[in-house]
Copies of this chain bind each other. A is one copy, B any other.
Amino acid sequence: MAHSTITIRNVAERANVSTATVSRVLNNDPRVRSETKAVVLEAMESLGYKINFVARSLKTNRTHTIGVLAPDLSGDFFMFIAESMSRELTLRGYSIVVGTSRDSEEEEAKRLRHLAERLVDGVVLIPIGSSSAYLPQISALNIPIVFVDRGFVGYEADQVLVDNEGGAYEAVRALIREGHRRIGFLGGKPEVTTAGERFAGYRRAMEETGLEIEQRYVRFGHPTLPFGYRTMEEIVKDPDSPDTWFVVNLFAHLGATNYLVSEGGEMARRITFAAFDEMPYSPLLRYCRYAVQQPIAEMGKAAANLIIDRIEGKGPPGPQILRFKTRLIQHTLAR
């Protein structure tokens, strides 16, 4: 507002060239003679020229912005993904706009459409998960999408996933190896792919070693903090319940531990968990013997590169599914 904006035209005048040449300099077009390039650059410098990205976007139909849509910005998992994606995207000259689906599929579809309609070149989606009813709508938008964390079976798209089955299997096997025999399952709805796969890993470990899965102690639910808290409350009240549990994610784990800490009874002292996710505060999760660590930073990086490659037409033709290995971490329980 102080002074009216400086455009490519002003630069052109100052440098005694046409706007086309200035534009070519902006885009590093090799066809421009290095002397004139120098003149143009100097003109830009002295005028304090700044490119107008909006105008460029209008012309090129590219915003160099990618959308990231997650159930909840305040989840730890998401925030580490976002952190690593942000780093990678910035490096490659992209900006990142975020959105929240608030754990509602309707909202997810709405926000996705809003993002895709014009603002972004592609979107990275951490889906709510259970259904894919709105997916046809989305693919109609004809913009690259990369799914992270939760996949969709039968939907042809790029996906960045984790070896949920293997991670769960390893953890439960480790528990069994230490002598645990009765192991419950505390986790998400089986129709969500992550939860389903983790349950499969749990089951394989149990069946392979000839251990019985007690249906009463397989607790499915929306794996939030309150869910973990309430379920653990019930479990502790049940004198017959197992002492050992595999927990499907961080929130449920945290909720369960919070309950045990608040209750502090004798039962709590016997409980042992194995659980997905490892965070800075994991040392405080005092009943957790094994943590299944996901390579979150790598996943974010992979998602970022995948979406950009897609946008820039560099990727392989078919949909790409990346599945990362987990790492089992053993904690010492101070009892």
Contact = CB atoms under 8 A, between A and B. Distances in A.
A51 interface: yes
Interface stretch (A31-39, A127-135, A175-183, A258-266): A258-266
Contacts of A95: 97, 99, 119
Contacts of A111: 90
Contacts of A72: 83
A55 to B, nearest CB: 5
A82 interface: yes
A220 interface: no
A261 B98 contact: no
Interface string A69-107: 000111010011011001100100001111110000000
Contacts of A334: 261, 264
Contact of A51 (B82, B98, B118, B261): B118
A306 interface: no
Interface string A245-270: 00000000010011001101000000
A258 B96 CA distance: 33
Contacts of A119: 53, 65, 95
Contacts of A1: 142
Interface string A277-315: 000110111100000000000000000000000000000
B82 A98 contact: yes
- Which of A58, A72, A142 has the largest number of chain B CB atoms within 10 A? A58
A52 interface: yes
A87 B74 contact: no
A119 B118 CA distance: 14
Interface in A36-55: 50-55
Interface of A: 1-2, 50-55, 57-58, 63, 65, 72-74, 76, 79-80, 82-83, 86-87, 90, 95-100, 111, 117-119, 142, 225, 254, 257-258, 261-262, 264, 280-281, 283-286, 334
27 contacts: A51-B117, A53-B117, A58-B58, A72-B83, A73-B79, A73-B83, A73-B86, A74-B80, A74-B82, A74-B83, A76-B76, A83-B100, A86-B98, A86-B99, A87-B100, A90-B100, A90-B111, A95-B97, A95-B119, A254-B284, A258-B280, A258-B281, A261-B284, A261-B286, A264-B334, A284-B284, A284-B285
Given A53-B119, A82-B98, A95-B99, 13 more contacts: A1-B142, A2-B142, A50-B118, A55-B58, A58-B58, A72-B83, A74-B80, A74-B83, A79-B79, A90-B111, A97-B97, A225-B280, A264-B334
